[in-house]
Amino acid sequence: MALVLGIETSCDETAVGIVDGRKLLANVISSSVEQHARFGGVVPEVASRAHLEAMPQVIKQALKDSGVTLKDIDAIAVTAGPGLIGALLVGVSSASALSLALDKPLYGVNHLSAHIAVDQLDNDKKVAPAIALLVSGGHSSILKVSNLATDVQVMGSTIDDAAGEAFDKIARIMGLGFPGGPLIDKESRNANPAFVDFPRGLTSPADLAKHQYNFSFSGLKTAVARFIEQTPGYKKADVAASFQEAVVDVLLRKSLAACKETGIDNLVIAGGVAANSRLRQLAQQRCEQAKINLSIPPIGLCTDNGAMVAALGSMAITEGVKPSQIGIGADSAASIAQVIW
Residues 6+ apart with CB under 8 A from 72: 3
Nearer Cβ to ligand KG4 (297/313): 297
Q: Are strands 293-295 and 75-81 parallel, antiparallel or unpaired?
A: unpaired
Nearer Cβ to ligand KG4 (104/200): 200
* Edge-to-edge strands, sheet with 75-81: 23-31, 13-20, 3-8, 75-81, 106-110
Nearer Cβ to Zn ion (94/136): 136
Binding residues for ligand KG4 (CB under 6 A):
11, 136-138, 164-165, 167-168, 179-182, 185, 271-273, 275-276, 303-304
Selected range binding Zn ion among 123-131, 134-142, 186-194, 246-254, rule: CB under 5 A: 134-142
Q: Are strands 130-135 and 266-270 parallel, antiparallel or unpaired?
A: parallel
Report 309-328 residues binding Zn ion (CB under 5 A): none
For the bound state, the minimum distance from the C-beta of residue 256 to ligand KG4, rounded and expressed in Å, comes to 19
User: Would you call 335 helix, strand, or coil by DSSP?
Assistant: coil
Cβ–Cβ under 8 Å, residues 148 and 312: yes
CB burial class (10 A; 0-12, 13-18, 19+) of residue 234?
middle
136 forms part of the interface with Zn ion (CB under 5 A) = yes
For the bound state, the minimum distance from the C-beta of residue 162 to Zn ion, rounded and expressed in Å, comes to 10
Nearer Cβ to Zn ion (249/304): 304
DSSP 303: S
For the bound state, the minimum distance from the C-beta of residue 272 to Zn ion, rounded and expressed in Å, comes to 6
Q: Which of 200, 212, 204 is nearest to 249 (CA)?
A: 200
Nearer Cβ to ligand KG4 (129/177): 177
Report 249-308 residues binding Zn ion (CB under 5 A): 304
For the bound state, the minimum distance from the C-beta of residue 115 to Zn ion, rounded and expressed in Å, comes to 6
By CB under 5 A, name the binding residues for Zn ion: 136, 304
